[in-house]
Structure 1
Amino acid sequence: MECSDDLRRMDITMIHRFLSEESSWAKGIPLDTVQRGMEHSLCFGGWSEGQQIAFARVITDHASFAYLLDVFVLPEYRGQGYSKQLLEFVFRHPALQGLRRFVLVSSNARGLYQQFGFQTLGKPETYMEILRPALYQR
């Protein structure tokens, strides 16, 4: 798989379709919301035979904090190590070196993320959130 962080190469149609129709976390997300999110994030893609098959993005201040999200490999390409290849590419990115905190929210693939050093929150009582899970279904 070939990986890139070139936003111009990203297949926004495929990314939006997956997030809005197949993901468990962004069902119904509008296209313009996906586009704005991508424009203000570091985006990473994976390609096989010229077709984008994987995506991830990172929201970061490039200094001390990063949030990994929207990680996926298209279903028909899963189980072939592509997610690991994509994450290895993400974690080598120059803007993501030396960060104090790197977080993600995941209900699955925990074993994959643990391979990259992620652990459960050390002090979950210190984290707070505003969560609007049905925001895109309005």
Structure 2
Amino acid sequence: MTDTPPLPDGYEISTDPERLDVDRVHRWLSTDAYWATGRPREKQERAIAGSLNFGVYDAGSGEQVGYARVVTDHTTFAWLCDVYVDRSVRGKSIGTALVGAVRDHLQPLGLRRIMLATADAHGVYAKLGFAPLDPPDIWMALVFE
């Protein structure tokens, strides 16, 4: 497994659901994420409630700048989805650090694999050990054995 890149100074990751800015997450995903464009707020709230959520925050202001969601049984399988970094902070490796933190959080659970689907970020996920499945253009997995 590859090392997780550190978050840039001034940012922190939390799984505390009370810290999530649900309005912001919904706006990001429903207006700017190709996989969730038009997702209704009520569906986003249900998705958040049924998932393990990761937020990235500006340590000074507390403002949320990133998000990732994991659907898992905490035993055998996890689905990583809704990974999003605010446009204002892209290019700082926040997304890579976020996905690495998700992977590291889940790894001790003994999961067999973490799955995800992406149309455009294969390189980001590959840096963290994810590899294509069939069909390789959208599926990737991290297999723990």
Shorter-chain TM band: 0.7 to 0.9
Q: CA deviation at 1:96?
A: 5.9
Q: Which residue of 2 aligns with 1:90?
A: 102
1:20 partnered with 2:30? yes
1:1-138 matches, within 5 Å, as 1-48=11-58, 49=60, 50-93=62-105, 97-121=109-133, 123-124=134-135
Q: List runs of 5+ in structure 1 lacking aligned partners.
A: 125-138
Structure 1 counterpart SS, 2:128: coil
RMSD value over aligned CA atoms?
1.4
More strand by share: 2
State the AA in 2 paired with 1:104. L
Q: How many residues align?
A: 123
Identity %: 40
Q: Which residue of 2 aligns with 1:133?
A: none
State the AA in 2 paired with 1:75. R
Structure 2 counterpart SS, 1:104: strand
> Using a 3 Å threshold, how does the CA distance of structure 1 residues 97 and 73 change in structure 2: closer, same or farther?
same
Cα distance between partner residues in 2 of 1:81 and 1:39: 27
Q: CA deviation at 1:97?
A: 3.0
Cα distance between partner residues in 1 of 2:108 and 2:16: 16
